[in-house]
Amino acid sequence: MAENTIKNNEDVFHNEWGQICSQLKTEVGEKAFDSWLKPLSVGTFTNGVMNICVPTRFMRNWVITNYSDRIHKIWEKKNPSIKSINFVVQAGEDPMVGTHSSSCRSLLKHIVASPAPSIYLSGGSVLPISQNENESVVFNESSQSLSVPLNPLYTFDSFVVGKTNEFAYAAARKIAESDNVPFNPLFLYSGVGLGKTHLMHAIAWHIKQRSPEKNIVYLSAEKFMYKFVRALRYKDTTAFKEQFRSVDVLMVDDVQFMSGKDSTQEEFFYTFNSLIEEGRQIILSADKSPSDLDGIESRLRSRLSCGLVADIHPTDFELRVGIVQNKARQLNCELPNKVAEFLAQKITTNIRELEGALRRVIAHTQLLSGKEISIETTQDILKDMLRSYDRRTTIDEIQKKVAEYFNISVKEIQSSRRARTVARPRQIAMYLAKQLTSRSLPEIGRKFDRDHTTVMHAVRKVEELIIEDKSLAENINTLKRMLDM
């Protein structure tokens, strides 16, 4: 009797899953459906949680990022007893799998009953679903071994757009959404931790979803060099070149690492030119603009800048707040706005550090379950980190360095003179004091003999100027580096 009910339920779920699949197929298109959703199957259902089996962890990440909300919504509407959906990796790849293997009975049944299904990864590399639980998954050597895995969290959806990165974002989106090659190469550059790698992965994910047959290769310049040197050692450069033949989109991250490596540059130049001539898309990133890259041969430098060059500026306050809020949502944490603003105000160096601080705050408060996140708890949890920011620089040092840099005196910086030659450096010094120390606006104001609204105005003004005025942005970066030492 009980068994019959289970059997009936299973049939109901299978039926519903079939209907959901038809709907998803029209929504996402046949290609994406065949690549990502067709290989899924219904597993067990317990306590409102529906287990869906996925053949690999890679697919699981992708499906969770791109389809899980939609699947849940459609299914919940059809069957309100489904409260949430859990994606379970089928045995073979994921070490967690042993605990779930019963959920995957139906997938295993399906595999045994039908010829080996395949999932197409980039560029027609075929990922066969293993028929034997102990058999490891086999990748097609040629393209898979070139590319390194993409981070499933680095998508366009999780990228927060603000004034400082909107141009780079628009360029990245344009490439991801175009059927042809809108500009070649796209050269992204910025300081560390400002989103270059995130954007490159986002482009790759987007293209993979739209055109799963495309062969996308993403690798760091270091990996490119490593592979090339290895090919030289084994006298196998023809095979090395051959690997790039079938690439539709080539992304090389952090090309500044090629500086001074003449033979690698030569090889890269060759690969680069032939891919461009064949109309393949190339995307590169570096920490400097092509013209500022030291140790890169001039013909390669000029070739690098012949497409579109897009830089990402240092973050501004609004963007940092947006990123913290977004990240907190991703981590299912209710973060008071005041705390998001506090973090964005204090941690200005790069986004990686900002995310790290947020994770620390969340982890601590979760451990002390029930404790609310407030500015006080945040200050407490991050006190070492914030103190080290303070230790790095004092407002006095900032005033001194800025005065020296602009060839005026510290007295003038602190004075009430409004001449631009003095007023602008003063605003820059206030901005740097806000960025590099954890002093409050009134505290900074006192050091300049001004009130906090003047400081606030100065900070905003400089943030705007950094975006509009490249040379001023560079001056500020130089000052920051000087002060950071």
Strands (E), 254-307: 281-286
* CA 197/CA 252 separation, integer angstroms: 10
196 part of the interface to ligand ADP, by CB under 6 A: yes
190 part of the interface to ligand ADP, by CB under 6 A: yes
Binding to ligand ADP, residues 148-167 (CB under 6 A) = 154, 158-160, 165
How many amino acids of this chain bind Mg ion (CB under 5 A)? 2
Measured from the CB atom, is 293 or 323 closer to ligand ADP? Answer: 323
36 DSSP 8-state letter: I
Binding to ligand ADP, residues 89-118 (CB under 6 A) = none
Q: Which two tokens stand for residue 69?
A: 């909300």
Interior angle at CA 334, CA 330 and CA 339, nearest 5: 105
Position among 55, 195, 212, 290 found at the interface with ligand ADP (CB under 6 A): 195
CB 472 within 8 A of CB 465: yes
Measured from the CB atom, is 106 or 285 closer to ligand ADP? Answer: 285
Measured from the CB atom, is 327 or 401 closer to Mg ion? Answer: 327
Measured from the CB atom, is 205 or 406 closer to Mg ion? Answer: 205
197 part of the interface to Mg ion, by CB under 5 A: yes
Position among 117, 182, 193, 336 found at the interface with ligand ADP (CB under 6 A): 193
Measured from the CB atom, is 96 or 192 closer to ligand ADP? Answer: 192
List, in sequence order, every residue forming a beta bridge with 118; answer none if it has no partner: 128
Residue 133: phi and psi, rounded to 5, are: -60, -30
**Residue 288 class from Cβ within 10 Å (0-12 exposed, 13-18 middle, 19+ buried)?**
middle
Three-class secondary structure of residue 247 per DSSP: coil
Q: Which two tokens stand for residue 404?
A: 């020296």
351 part of the interface to ligand ADP, by CB under 6 A: yes
Q: Which two tokens stand for residue 330?
A: 């991703």
Q: Which two tokens stand for residue 260?
A: 């001074």
Q: Which residue is nearest to ligand ADP (CB)?
A: 195
Measured from the CB atom, is 157 or 404 closer to ligand ADP? Answer: 157
428 part of the interface to ligand ADP, by CB under 6 A: no
Shortest Cβ 312–ligand ADP spacing (Å): 7
Position among 198, 401, 426, 434 found at the interface with ligand ADP (CB under 6 A): 198
* CA 180/CA 112 separation, integer angstroms: 41
What is the x/- site pattern for ligand ADP, positions 320-349, by CB under 6 A?
---x--------------------------
Measured from the CB atom, is 313 or 401 closer to ligand ADP? Answer: 313
Measured from the CB atom, is 50 or 351 closer to ligand ADP? Answer: 351
* CA 181/CA 195 separation, integer angstroms: 22
What is the x/- site pattern for ligand ADP, positions 241-280, by CB under 6 A?
----------------------------------------
CB 195 within 8 A of CB 165: yes
Q: Which two tokens stand for residue 420?
A: 């631009």
Residues 6+ apart with CB under 8 A from 170: none
Shortest Cβ 324–ligand ADP spacing (Å): 10
Measured from the CB atom, is 166 or 443 closer to ligand ADP? Answer: 166
143 part of the interface to Mg ion, by CB under 5 A: no
Q: Nearest Cα to 35, choosing from 171, 178, 213, 176?
A: 213
141 DSSP 8-state letter: H
CB 225 within 8 A of CB 256: no
Q: Which does 160 bind (CB under 5 to 8 A by kind): Mg ion, ligand ADP, none?
A: ligand ADP
Cα dihedral 27→30→36→42 (10° resolution): 70
Q: Which does 351 bind (CB under 5 to 8 A by kind): Mg ion, ligand ADP, none?
A: ligand ADP
Q: Which does 7 bind (CB under 5 to 8 A by kind): ligand ADP, Mg ion, none?
A: none
Residues making up the chain, counted from first to last: 485
Residue 105: phi and psi, rounded to 5, are: -50, -45
> Edge-to-edge strands of the sheet including 249-253?
216-220, 249-253, 281-286, 186-189, 308-311
Measured from the CB atom, is 117 or 356 closer to ligand ADP? Answer: 356
Position among 184, 197, 281, 437 found at the interface with ligand ADP (CB under 6 A): 197
352 part of the interface to ligand ADP, by CB under 6 A: yes
Write out the residues near ligand ADP by the rule CB under 6 A: 154, 158-160, 165, 190, 192-198, 323, 351-352, 355
Write out the residues near Mg ion by the rule CB under 5 A: 196-197
